Structure 1
Amino acid sequence: MKYDPIKRSLGKVFNRTPFLRIIFYKLLDLLLLRSWHIRKALRKVGPLNSNQSILDAGSGFGQYVYWMSRFFKNSTILGVDVKSEQIEDCNRFFQQIREEERVQFQYADLTKFEDKDRFSLILSVDVMEHIEEDQQVFHHFYHSLKDGGTILISTPSDQGGSDAHEHDHEEDAHGFIDEHVRDGYGIQDITEKLTKAGFHSIDASFSYGKAGKISWKLSMKYPILMLGFSQLLFVFLPIYYLVVFPLCLVFNFIDLIKTHKSGSGLIVVAKK
């Protein structure tokens, strides 16, 4: 299943005005369990001192940049991505809301991008599972952080993070999300790679336990499958979400407050 055609379809609806886009961001923050875990981890990082720089490595359509621009009010934020159309779109949106002096986006290949000792915080959400040369990227992250800086990574785990373990047929071996170059990381695996890059105080924990997996299927997997079958079914999504949205909120809350022995997601925080 490829996400990009679905993302573009949704973008056409919600990018018509800045107001609609902000509403879309807020709905995603409520609906997507990943966002719950990331916001919890970012709050633990706490407000940064004035004039600190943040990197969103793989910024996509800017959801987390927008949230961080509100939470880290005195910081500057750079979002980088390999998709030029998303860079242009995000720059346009943040210009429309008059944040272009503090928030900017640019094209960057993370296997090559490094800005030595610039950032106090690096956020990387659902990016590393797409990159074969992950050790190289971790080294770039390390050198781009200031001393004492923090990196926060959200990525699928090897406990079924790409949904690959739900398939029995060889042709489905890449799972539900076929853009991934790996099914996910084990805690020991990603800890060793970050340590090799120079990081310390590494805290890796599972997310998307039993409740989280149910929420993900209801909130993302089934709607994406539906739209993948026919985009005409888009008109039924509001009715669908009216039914499942309250359930997803409950499952998200349960997943957020529990400590998981296993899960299909990983939240990793480390220090330089």
Structure 2
Amino acid sequence: MVKTLLLEILIQVPVTILFPFLGVWPESESFADDGMDGVPSDWNGICQNELDISFTCNKKLIGARYFNKGYEAYEGAPLNISFQTPRDTDGHGTHTLSTAGGTFVANASFFGYGNGTAKGGSPHARVAAYKGLSLSSTSLAKGKYPIIMSTDAKTANSTENDARLCLYGSLDSAKVNGSIVICARGTNARVEKGEVVLEAGGVGMVLINPATASNNIIPDKHILPAVAMTYSDSQTLLCHTSNQTGLYISHELNAVRFYLVL
């Protein structure tokens, strides 16, 4: 009885949930404002949509902003529209905000399975979304970075295959420190491979596809700068790194260039 009463109170309490970093897709039914009163008079937020007029707020989604000035100054060039709107670009912001404060959505399902009504933890709440960019997680500082095969940095007690896959404990920090490491997909999670590289002192990762994965590229939220490569592109890179030393990646503005320093 107490738990039921508490749940009812939490559902009905008028609150505003502010969600940073990821943006939102305003067209989602989770943010419909049917039956809601007007925006509270003490709300001081804005709906920043001067460059994306298709993005609109309402009595449910009462605010949205994006923060890109630092990233724009860092890049030194105009950013594309995806960085100049509070709109969510990969669905994660919309998913998390609707989980917290999405309204009731009837006839929800997962591709026809689990039919029912979807709602967030506080369906009567108003919500606001903010989208920002973190330089530390999305970019390397400008400069040149040595790129190495993970197998060339394996620890003494690791197998070459463990190092190739960048499994935990397989990389020697003395060899990895300050470098971008080439890791192969397989066995452990893709994001976990980046964790292994970072813990060993690496500054970035190139994730290469095996022949079985071909051109299947899956975007991930890595904890360090990382790029995924198709099998064919991976073979080109491996051709350059095979039996070579002095290969560097140079990050200059929006371009990434490969150099072989002889």
TM range (shorter): under 0.3
- Structure with larger Rg: 2
TM-score (normalizing by structure 2)? 0.24
Q: Which structure carries more helix by proportion?
A: 1
Q: Which has the higher contact order (CA 8 A, sep 6+)?
A: 1
TM-score (normalizing by structure 1)? 0.23
Q: Which structure carries more strand by proportion?
A: 2
